[in-house]
Amino acid sequence: MKKRSLDSVEINALVKRAQSGETEGFDILLWRFQDMAVGYATTILRDRSAAEDAAQDAFVEAFRNLSALREPAAFPGWLRQIVWKHCDRQLRRNALTTVNLDEAAHTSAQEDSLEVAMETVEVRDKVMTLVGQLPNAQREVVVLFY
């Protein structure tokens, strides 16, 4: 069955049904907004599998906290905020790294080389951005030369 977009009156009715304990109302909301949630999460995380996990976690949280939603017609934006929060958590969790204690002892000696490497990456990124802004003919010349 093809999904059609819901208008605010339908969203309002479904949210109120779900808030009153009728799980079928939330099931319909989930079915209708699943693609939006996964698509939005994929845009943020750039990983479909991680996006599906984030969207699932967001729907669980939305179900648990649906009674706190004061304006039922605001459900799409409210859900999008929850999806963003779960994506942010995943990004932060993935950014955390563990370091072996033996490696940590050598880290201070390598800090200078790490800073130089980071500066090199930053310069490369800036150059690539600027090259990307050149007209096609000039960009081809630069890319072919380097």
Predicted local confidence at residue 108, as pLDDT: 55
> Considering the domain boundaries, does residue 3 fall inside one?
no
Residue 96 has pLDDT above 80, yes or no: no
Q: Domain range for residue 132? A: 104-145
Mean pLDDT of 35-64: 96
Mean pLDDT of 18-31: 95
**Among 31-40, 90-99, 108-117, which stretch is predicted with the lowest mean pLDDT?**
108-117
> Considering the domain boundaries, does residue 76 fall inside one?
yes
Q: Which residue has the higher pLDDT, 131 or 73?
A: 73
Name the residue among 81, 74, 79, 46 with its Cα closest to residue 62.
Answer: 79
Q: Are residue 29 and residue 67 in the same domain, yes or no?
A: yes
Instruction: pLDDT band for 27, please (50, 70, 90 cuts).
Output: very high
Instruction: pLDDT band for 125, please (50, 70, 90 cuts).
Output: confident
Q: Are residue 50 and residue 16 in the same domain, yes or no?
A: yes
Q: Are residue 82 and residue 121 in the same domain, yes or no?
A: no
- Helix, strand, coil share (%) of the chain residues, nearest 5: 85, 0, 15
Domain count, the chain: 2
Residue 136 CB-density burial (10 A; 0-12 exposed, 13-18 middle, 19+ buried): exposed
Q: Are residue 111 and residue 87 in the same domain, yes or no?
A: no
Instruction: pLDDT band for 83, please (50, 70, 90 cuts).
Output: very high
Predicted local confidence at residue 2, as pLDDT: 59
> Considering the domain boundaries, does residue 22 fall inside one?
yes
**pTM > 0.85: yes or no:** no
Residues 32/79, Cβ–Cβ less than 8 Å:
no
Q: Are residue 87 and residue 113 in the same domain, yes or no?
A: no
Among 95, 113, 128, residue at a domain's last position:
95
Which tokens in the block code for residue 142?
């630069």
Q: Are residue 85 and residue 61 in the same domain, yes or no?
A: yes
Instruction: pLDDT band for 75, please (50, 70, 90 cuts).
Output: very high
- What is d(CA 14, CA 75) in angstroms, rounded to the nearest whole number? 10
Residues 2/47, Cβ–Cβ less than 8 Å:
no
Return the CATH number at 24: 1.10.1740.10
Q: Are residue 88 and residue 17 in the same domain, yes or no?
A: yes
Q: Are residue 68 and residue 130 in the same domain, yes or no?
A: no
